[in-house]
Amino acid sequence: MGNTMLLTLLLVVVAAYGQTPPPPEGFRWVKNESFSDEFDGEVLDTTKWYARSPYWVNGRPPATFRAGSVSVKEGMLQIKNSVLDGDKKYNIAGGAVASVAKDALYGYYEARMKASSISMSSTFWMKNKPDTKECPFEVQELDIVEVVGQQKTGWDFRTNLKSNTHIFYTDCDGEKTVKSAGGTEAKIDPPANEAYHVYGCWWVDADTIKIYLDGEYQFTMNPSTHFRDTPFNKPMYMHMVTETYNWETPPTPEELADDTKNTTYYDWVRSYTLVPVDQ
């Protein structure tokens, strides 16, 4: 077998099964089952996942979230976007699958996903609820991947990997501000809607988040440095979401009715934490 064929085979294996980065000396990776699923059954595992997120219930108009958009079949978690009749504010049904557990913190998180081919997002991200309802308070968000399979504006979320971190701050006057710190972009080839890719994130510590694509390191985000030394250290829940963006033209009813284009597929999601080698 030639070197080119061996390299191709290796890339296929990495894309299909994922690849954790080498652990630091003295540590090993252990699967975090609360945030891992192969989606090999016939129904969503409700001990791990909500079919409709209780953390972000309605979504951003004109799309909203419906549990009926979510299914598990053919070894995949599938979110099928569709026309939603009878609602003036929301006329598109997307989906938001959320983890039951809310304690995702430092570790490695990855999902093998193929985006839909419509102008809605296909995403994999994490967020926390406020520690307190008393003001002031803040919420942190880690966007591992946000892609859009059909580009209608000038922003290319189809072939460019975009990751980000956000802190949403609410003061005692009810004023809300957001601070964002992302990383450099990486090329997605083939495009996100034409092939499955493994999107990974090593949340190392409160200021170090490394982004991976198909097992290869791409860039690092340093949120605490950008957020004036605010540590990025809130335990989070996990989201797999399809939604509309306010900067992108929504899909047409004809596009939403096309079953070759309207679905985002998650082959699996896997999560790992570091433990000492002697444990």
Catalytic residues: 141, 146
CB atoms within 10 A of CB 137: 15
Torsion 199-204-205-211 (CA) sign: negative
According to DSSP, the β-strands at 160-161 and 164-170 are: unpaired
| Side chain identity, residue 231 | P
- Specify the 3-state DSSP secondary structure of 108: strand
Q: What count of Cα atoms within 13 Å lies in the side-chain half-sphere of residue 23?
A: 15
Alpha helices (H) along the chain:
3-17, 223-226, 253-256
Opening angle at CA 78, ends 15 and 192, nearest 5: 45
Burial class (CB in 10 A: 0-12, 13-18, 19+), 175: exposed
Contact 95, 81 (CB under 8 A): yes
Question: What helix, strand, coil percent values describe the chain, rounded to 5?
Answer: 10, 40, 50
Q: How far apart are CA 41 and CA 7, in angstroms?
A: 32
Tokens (6 digits) for 216: 């290869």
Q: How far apart are CA 231 and CA 207, in angstroms?
A: 7
Q: How far apart are CA 11 and CA 192, in angstroms?
A: 16
